[in-house]
């Protein structure tokens, strides 16, 4: 099971909406995942397999290989386009 964290500044608004979309995307791809939202300050302490966030926050992560950059927290179609390939790669490992 993949551990995925959606990340925004406070971990309660934007990233919560993104987490719901990521859960649905994972289900559609038959990928088992523990998806939750978190604030940026605590994100890397979660030791996730994948962090999903916007470009401005993504560049601040120490391990870029574990980051998927999304264009929008709320547009499911864009999120799916942005993370599907990365999710499938991780699911194969």
User: What confidence tens digit (pLDDT) does each residue in 26-79 have?
Assistant: 999 999 999 999 999 999 998 999 999 999 999 999 999 999 999 999 999 999
Whole-number pLDDT of residue 93: 67
Domains of the chain and CATH, by start: 2-77 (3.40.50.2300)
- Do 83 and 7 touch, CB atoms closer than 8 A? no
Structure tokens at 81: 């386009």
Whole-number pLDDT of residue 70: 98
**Across residues 9-26, what is the average pLDDT?**
93
Whole-number pLDDT of residue 11: 77
Question: What pTM, to 2 d.p., does this model score?
Answer: 0.95
Give the C-alpha separation, 92 to 54, whole Å: 24
């Amino acid at each position: 099971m993949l551990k995925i964290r959606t990340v925004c500044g406070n971990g309660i608004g934007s990233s919560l909406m993104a987490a719901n979309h990521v859960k649905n995307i994972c289900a559609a791809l038959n990928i088992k995942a523990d998806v939750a939202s978190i604030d940026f300050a605590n994100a890397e302490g979660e030791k996730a397999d994948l962090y999903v966030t916007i470009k401005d926050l993504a560049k601040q992560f120490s391990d870029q290989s574990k980051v998927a950059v999304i264009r929008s927290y709320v547009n499911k179609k864009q999120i799916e386009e942005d993370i599907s390939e990365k999710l499938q790669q991780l699911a194969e490992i």
